[in-house]
Amino acid sequence: MATSKKVRKSVSAWNPSLAAPFVAKHEGLKLEAYKCPAGEWTIGYGNTRINGREVRAGDRITKAEAEAMLKQECARVRSQIADSVHVPVSLGEFTALVDFVYNIGIGGFRRSTLLKKLNAARYVDAGYEFLKWKYAAGKELPGLVLRREDEKKLFIEG
């Protein structure tokens, strides 16, 4: 029985658009501004900004605008991750990281044990760190529990 080896390369070598469908699945699409569980005005696929300004009550966008914003944000997140991750990653690891940082922000990621373990090339250990990030505004959210399980599974299994 042949075993397949994960192809790993630098974060910056991966196309950020490859992560967009996974992010979209977790964020969901809302074309009118709403308050997310953390209390921030949000629109599209979890965006808190439109054309450089904060989202406000009453803002509306089209699906095409939301998809363009998603791809742009995935590219921005990839650049942030590339500045922090010093080991090669597989496509599954890359996609899980983009989804994670898209959701929690780069600050939390840079301070995380997940990043420390990943940069030590402790890939499986790093994968289990996703499960710790299931809280918003101090409350455990069922949606975040499921999202983190999906990220962990994709990160570890590819």
**Which CATH number belongs to the domain containing residue 108 in this structure?**
1.10.530.40
Q: Could you tell me if residue 149 is inside a domain?
A: yes
Indicate if the alpha-carbon torsion angle 41, 49, 17, 91 is positive or negative: negative
Which of 36, 40, 65, 67 is flagged as catalytic? Answer: 36
Q: How many domains does the chain have?
A: 1
Q: Could you tell me if residue 68 is inside a domain?
A: no
The string of pLDDT tens digits covering residues 99-137 is 999 999 999 999 999 999 999 999 999 999 999 999 988
**How confident is the model at residue 1, as a pLDDT?**
47
Q: Could you tell me if residue 34 is inside a domain?
A: no
Mean pLDDT (whole number) for 59-84: 98
Q: Could you tell me if residue 39 is inside a domain?
A: no
Which of 27, 73, 129, 151 is flagged as catalytic? Answer: 27
Does the pTM of the predicted model rise above 0.85? yes
Spatial distance between the Cα atoms of 154 and 146, rounded to a whole number of angstroms? 12
Q: Could you tell me if residue 64 is inside a domain?
A: no
- Give the DSSP per-residue string, 20-70: HHHHHHHH--EEEEEE-TTS-EEEETTBSEETTEE--TT-B--HHHHHHHH
Whether the predicted pLDDT of 73 surpasses 70: yes
Q: Could you tell me if residue 102 is inside a domain?
A: yes
**How confident is the model at residue 137, as a pLDDT?**
81
Whether the predicted pLDDT of 4 surpasses 60: no
The string of pLDDT tens digits covering residues 5-64 is 789 999 999 999 999 999 999 999 999 999 988 889 999 999 999 988 999 999 999 999
Q: Could you tell me if residue 46 is inside a domain?
A: no
Q: Could you tell me if residue 96 is inside a domain?
A: yes
**How confident is the model at residue 37, as a pLDDT?**
81
Is 36 an active-site residue?
Answer: yes
Is 27 an active-site residue?
Answer: yes
Task: State the residue range of the domain holding 15.
Answer: 11-28+73-157
